[in-house]
Structure formats: structure tokens, C-alpha cells
């Protein structure tokens, strides 16, 4: 394990923003992780995974620590679920593909999401009608302050829509070293998301397998989202705002085309992409950053954009949506 100084993080974030880390270390074992933390001493530590949910708006004056701990392991089953342990450093999309290769369903709707397994609980990753919470059993972590090991159950994580305890009280306090997922032994396809059901129907599959669902999800994602290796981005840049029924009613009366999905609590989740498009920002640039022409929710780096340019565009889009609809958009990636 080496601690490097003054490292450009551009290769390590999918928005491809340049920002320098005062110190940088990659760790592949718990022993290396402890050694790196000992070297950091009282200095701040910032944990970096695949850098796919971050805006590096400035240099990072901290030890930037990348937990690359490997591991894919079947722990056993309880008659209803099989339990699978994944090291924090495993690439999420590869781990999903590996479970499918073993013939285990459960993660197919979450195929092709970038990033590492250790970050998946941070925002309770979700796609095509499924969130991590639905398959989550527990995680293992190390307390950055005390160095002690700690487990978090599903309840401890307090998952919500793109949310968990790791964005609140526990923010920046722990490094997640592994996650344990529970995959159903009796699998049923989750096709509640209309676009996904349509994609499966188009493929002419009457009784889809986990692999069929994964193939449909991958096809949809490849068509909708830009490849971050070619066009830097962080996926959906804003959360879909959730508004109460009265506001939704008023918005629908004024905008008959508005897209909203009723939630279990009676509120409505609006499609942020639709709001951005109506506010005139789909395919529009500000400086060297822009809102993607095929999906208005995705902010892209047109080449050498700075963190400041990304933040300026973020604020311009928020202001336009606020002015047009009176709705506040919240960025999904962490702004560093």
C-alpha cells in the first residue's frame, strides 16, 4: 500500500473532472485499510469508490482512500433466500453479471449501474422499479474514527429514495468493506416499470428469466444513457422530486402532460427529466457542460469542463425549473 501525494482524480470520476487529492491510497485488504488510516492520523479521510456519483468541484485536502477489497462468496441460504457477500471493491455491474452466471436471480433490474459494491448502500441504488433495499441483508464497515468494525442491518441503514443513514448522521464516518445481499430462491420477474415490461414484450419473451430481464435493462440503459468513458457524466443528475397531492393536482391542471407517479404515502414523484425539458434545458449547454440531448436528466461534460462549470449549470437548471414550476430540484451526486 502506497500513499501518493498531489494526485489528479480525473481518471477516477465518471464526470471526468480534474481535482487534486493531497494524498491518495488504494487498499485491497483490511490490514492495508487499517495501515492507511493509521498514516492519515487525525487528518480527514474521503472514501472514493468508482467516482460515478460525485461532482469534484474543488481539490480534496484529505487522504482519498479507495477501498478495492475483492470478494464474491455464497454464504448459504435459509430456505427462502441465498445470502451473497460482495467485497466493497467489486465492480457492481460485474458482480450482478456474476450472480446471473451462477443462475441466481434478484439483481437483474440493477444491471449495468456503474460504481463499486461498497457505494451501493450509500444512496440505496435503484433502477427499473427495484432499489438495493429490496435485496439488502447487512453490511460490514470500519469506523474511521475508532477503527472498530461494525455491522449495519437493513433497518440500521434507514434506506429511502436515493437515501440512507450514510447521507445523514453516518456521513463520512464509516468505510464500508463488504455488503451481504439476499437473493430469492423462488424468483419472480419484477416488471412493474412500464418501459421494462414493454422492452420484454418487444423481445417476444413470454416467461422471462433473470437473464432476459437483465438483457432488457442493459438494452434500455445503453440506448438512454451516454457512455461515461466517451462523454463524462454521473447518470441522473437530479433526484425525481416528490410533491404532495395538492401541488401535483395544481401542476397537472396547468401542465396536462406532466409525468407523476403516486407513492405509497399518497405523494407524487415527478419526472425531473420532463421538468428540465419543459424548462428549456434539454440538449442545452452552459460553458463546457450541458444537459444531454437524449435524456435531459443527465448532465454531461462536453470536454474539459471544470467543477465550477458543472455547478453553474446545475444552478441554472434548478433556477429554471423553480421559476417555471415552483419545484425544487435536488442534485443526486455528492458535491465535494
Ligand X SMILES: Cc1cc2nc3c(=O)[nH]c(=O)nc-3n(C[C@H](O)[C@H](O)[C@H](O)COP(=O)(O)OP(=O)(O)OC[C@H]3O[C@@H](n4cnc5c(N)ncnc54)[C@H](O)[C@@H]3O)c2cc1C
> What is the binding site for ligand X (CB under 6 A)?
14, 47-54, 67, 88, 113-116, 118-120, 122-123, 125-127, 174-176, 225, 228, 233-235, 334
- Residue 211 among the catalytic residues: no
Label each residue of 314-333 as H, E or C: HHHHHHHHHHHHCCCCCECC
Pairing of strands 242-243, 60-67: unpaired
Q: How far is the CB of 119 from ligand X (least distance, A)?
A: 3
Q: Based on CB atoms, which residue is closest to ligand X, 143 or 277? A: 143
Looking at beta carbons only, is 53 or 240 nearer to ligand X? 53
* Nearest residue (CB) to ligand X, 70 versus 103: 70
Least distance in Å: CB of 170 to ligand X? 9
From CA 77, how far away is CA 193, in angstroms rounded? 29
| Number of Cβ atoms within 10 Å of the Cβ of 75 | 12
Which grid cell sits at 258? 406532466
Number of residues in the chain: 336
- Pick the closer one to ligand X by CB: 176 or 216: 176
Helix (H, G, I), strand (E, B) or coil at 49: coil
Neighbouring C-beta atoms of residue 207, cutoff 10 Å: 7
Q: Give least dist CB 56 to ligand X, A.
A: 10
Catalytic residue among 182, 236, 309, 318: 236
CA 274 – CA 293 distance, rounded (Å): 12
Contact 55, 331 (CB under 8 A): yes
Angle, alpha carbons 105-111-117 (nearest 5°): 95
Q: Give min distance, CB of 257 to ligand X, in A.
A: 24
Closest CA to 70 of 51, 102, 95, 97: 95
- How, if at all, do strands 72-77 and 60-67 pair? unpaired
Separation of alpha carbons 24 and 47, rounded Å: 10
We find the least distance from the C-beta atom of residue 250 to ligand X, in angstroms, to be 29
Catalytic residue among 66, 85, 162, 318: 162
Beta bridge partners of 299: 291
Minimum distance from residue 199 beta carbon to ligand X (Å): 15
The rounded distance, in Å, linking the Cα atoms of 297 and 318 is 12
| Residue closer to ligand X, measured from CB, 194 or 250 | 194
Q: Which is nearer to ligand X, 221 or 322 (CB)?
A: 221
| Residue position matching grid coordinates 421538468 | 275
The residues carrying an active-site annotation are 162, 236, 332
Amino acid at each position: 500500500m502506497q500513499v501518493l501525494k498531489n494526485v489528479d482524480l480525473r481518471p477516477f470520476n465518471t464526470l471526468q473532472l480534474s481535482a487534486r487529492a493531497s494524498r491518495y491510497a488504494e487498499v485491497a485488504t483490511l490490514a492495508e485499510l487499517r495501515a492507511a488510516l493509521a498514516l492519515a492520523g487525525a487528518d480527514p479521510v474521503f472514501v472514493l469508490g468508482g467516482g460515478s456519483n460525485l461532482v469534484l468541484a474543488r481539490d480534496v485536502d484529505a487522504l482519498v482512500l479507495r477501498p478495492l477489497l475483492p470478494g464474491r462468496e455464497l454464504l448459504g441460504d435459509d430456505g427462502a433466500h441465498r445470502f451473497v457477500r460482495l467485497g466493497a471493491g467489486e465492480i457492481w455491474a460485474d458482480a450482478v453479471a456474476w450472480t446471473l452466471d451462477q443462475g441466481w436471480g434478484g439483481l437483474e433490474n440493477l444491471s449495468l449501474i456503474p460504481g463499486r459494491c461498497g457505494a451501493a448502500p450509500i444512496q440505496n441504488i435503484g433502477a427499473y422499479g427495484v432499489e438495493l433495499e429490496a435485496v439488502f441483508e447487512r453490511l460490514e464497515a470500519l469506523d474511521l474514527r475508532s477503527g472498530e468494525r461494525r455491522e449495519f442491518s437493513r433497518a440500521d441503514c434507514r434506506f429511502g429514495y436515493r437515501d440512507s443513514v450514510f447521507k445523514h448522521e453516518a456521513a463520512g464516518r464509516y468505510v464500508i468493506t463488504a455488503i451481504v445481499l439476499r437473493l430469492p430462491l423462488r424468483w419472480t420477474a419484477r416488471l412493474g416499470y412500464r418501459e421494462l415490461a414493454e422492452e420484454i414484450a418487444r423481445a417476444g419473451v413470454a416467461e422471462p428469466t433473470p437473464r432476459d430481464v437483465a438483457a432488457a435493462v442493459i438494452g434500455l440503459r445503453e440506448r438512454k444513457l451516454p457512455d461515461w468513458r466517451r462523454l463524462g457524466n454521473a447518470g441522473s443528475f437530479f433526484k425525481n422530486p416528490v410533491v404532495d397531492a395538492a401541488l401535483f393536482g395544481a401542476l397537472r391542471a396547468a401542465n396536462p402532460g406532466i409525468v407523476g407517479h403516486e407513492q405509497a404515502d399518497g405523494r407524487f414523484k415527478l419526472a425531473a427529466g420532463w421538468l428540465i425539458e419543459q424548462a428549456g434545458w434539454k440538449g442545452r449547454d452552459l460553458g463546457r457542460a450541458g444537459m444531454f440531448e437524449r435524456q435531459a436528466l443527465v448532465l454531461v461534460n462536453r470536454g474539459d469542463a471544470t467543477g465550477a462549470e458543472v455547478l453553474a449549470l446545475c444552478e441554472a437548471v434548478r433556477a429554471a425549473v423553480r421559476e417555471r414550476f415552483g419545484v425544487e430540484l435536488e442534485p443526486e451526486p455528492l458535491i465535494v
